[in-house]
Amino acid sequence: MERTYKITIRMYRLLLEFQLGRCWGCRRATGKARRLSVDHNHRTGEVRMLLCNTCNNIVGHFRDDPEGLIRLGLALIDPPSRRAWLGEGRVRPGWASQESELLDLLED
């Protein structure tokens, strides 16, 4: 852990305590069956959070793209099918191109 992520076991435990002993993503996994993964920015090396294997794979699949993850989250709240089938005519949240536009939609 120290060699790969440049954090000590103490730092890992402090982060785990800050996250209330759970995966930052799903909040279900506790790391008791399988240690939580250290999520980090592959470009800068910055450690961001501890994730279960499933959440870590999701972040990896999206290649650290916050817009894609926000788009999925918004779709769970307001599915595109509602507008497509009911013709509500609102702006399609997941189709905004700027990250700030996506975050603004969370406030609606």
Q: What confidence tens digit (pLDDT) does each residue in 20-63 have?
A: 999 999 999 999 999 999 999 988 999 999 999 999 999 999 99
Q: Are residues 37 and 19 in the same domain?
A: yes
Which long-range contacts does 52-57 make (Cβ < 8 Å, 24+ apart)?
52/23, 52/25, 52/26, 52/28, 54/26, 54/29, 55/23, 55/24, 55/25, 55/26, 55/29
CA distances from 65 to 19, 25, 51 (A): 22, 15, 16
Residue 92 above 80 pLDDT? no
Q: Are residues 75 and 48 in the same domain?
A: no
- Provide the whole-model pTM: 0.74
Task: Quote the percentage of the chain above a pLDDT of 90.
Answer: 62
Q: Are residues 49 and 6 in the same domain?
A: yes
Q: Which domain holds residue 49?
A: 2-61
Q: How many domains does the chain have?
A: 2
Q: Are residues 14 and 44 in the same domain?
A: yes
